[in-house]
Amino acid sequence: MVMLLEWWSGTDCTLYTDPESYHKYGKENAIVILNHNFEIDFLCGWNFCERFGVLGSSKVLAKKELSYMPIIGWMWYFLEIVFCKRKWEEDRKTVMQKLLNLRDYPENFWFLIHCEGTRFTEQKHQISMQVAEAKGLPKLKYHLLPRTKGFAVTVQCLRNVVSAVYDSTLNFRNNENPTLLGVLNGKKYHADLYVRQARFYQKHPWCRHSGRIPLEEVPEDEQECSNWLHKLYQEKDAFQEEYYRTGTYPAVPIVPPRRPWTLLNWLFWALLLLYPLFKLLINMINSGSSLTLASFAFVIVMASVGVRWMIGVTEINKGSTYGNNDNKQKQK
């Protein structure tokens, strides 16, 4: 999937960050907080991992339904992706166990988390801000309220193992609204990813952090950690305001070098698997059997339907029913 983004669609990814922090990326364990506004934001997060050599060891907190996706979901299961049902009473024990297993992980890893829990839409934003008003929390203009319990447990389980939090904000130039289908069709996008840095801190004194945020600065107490995360998202709103006003981020633009490994990996498996499939197709055509050809056509149609279904999982309008009556009381 990263190969499709980087090599097929040719999407450009520019990183805006503090040069002093840049040399540490990929060389330490980190929790990466991403905003959740676009259908391919997860893919851009993986691209960020790939550029710094931690794609194979990257982990995410994902909804349980994704584990049932053919091939991709099974692969994520064996890669120790942390799945949750988004029902905290059921998820807490499972999520904690999976996170504690990462404490002995043999390589540097990044744990990617979308604290909003679902992608931004205007309808979800209105419901989220109603929750904020009911709870006496500051309202956000460009984000949903973060769900703090998952983040607090992540920090609790990975403390003394993870070195820092990377607060990352993703946008696309020219008000583009990228889709996975667009990537598959070879459409090129330009992503700007901001990991907050010192200049913004100097320009806006209310912003508490510069560059990478050492994990020891995140409170241990669950309620204090919740307040910390809400404050973080108020600051992320300011980053969005800055981007929408100027079209850029107040940081040094860096384009991390593109590595060939995703392309080479795809070419290897394509040559290994497509040749026998192509040979099988030729043999079927030569057989002249109507039943055989009809069966093959049926398999192709079902595969196409399956791919379209998997793409549908990423579409914003197919996201979670954020704000249902049951969830409103649980939203944090």
The pLDDT profile of the chain, 332 residues, written as one tens digit per residue, is 899 999 999 998 899 988 888 889 999 999 999 998 898 888 999 999 999 999 989 998 877 777 777 677 777 777 778 887 777 777 888 888 889 989 999 999 999 999 998 889 899 999 999 999 999 998 999 999 999 998 999 999 999 999 999 999 999 998 898 988 899 889 999 999 999 754 444 444 444 444 578 999 999 999 999 999 999 999 999 889 889 999 888 888 999 999 999 999 999 988 888 888 788 778 777 776 777 777 777 777 777 776 666 666 555 555 555 554 444 444 44
Spatial distance between the Cα atoms of 123 and 77, rounded to a whole number of angstroms: 32
Q: Are 234 and 138 in contact (CB under 8 A)?
A: yes
Q: Are 35 and 236 in contact (CB under 8 A)?
A: yes
pLDDT score for 132: 93
CB atoms closer than 10 angstroms to residue 88: 15
pTM reported for the whole predicted model: 0.83
Which domain CATH number covers 117?
3.40.1130
User: Could you give the number of structural domains in the chain?
Assistant: 1
Q: Which two tokens stand for residue 27?
A: 């060389």
Domain span at 246: 2-263+307-328
In a domain, 296, yes or no: no
As beta bridge partners, residue 170 has 193
Return the SS3 of 10.
Answer: coil
In a domain, 219, yes or no: yes
Rg of the chain, C-alpha, whole Å: 21
In a domain, 9, yes or no: yes
In a domain, 52, yes or no: yes
In a domain, 294, yes or no: no
Spatial distance between the Cα atoms of 123 and 136, rounded to a whole number of angstroms: 20
198-237 pLDDT, tens digit each: 444 444 444 444 457 899 999 999 999 999 999 999 999 9
Q: Are 261 and 5 in contact (CB under 8 A)?
A: no
> What is the Cα 298 distance to its own chain's centre?
34
- Residue 179: name the closest of 189, 169, 168, 193 by CA: 189
In a domain, 83, yes or no: yes
- Residue 227: name the closest of 136, 326, 156, 143 by CA: 136
254-291 pLDDT, tens digit each: 999 999 999 999 999 888 888 887 887 787 777 767 77
pLDDT score for 181: 86
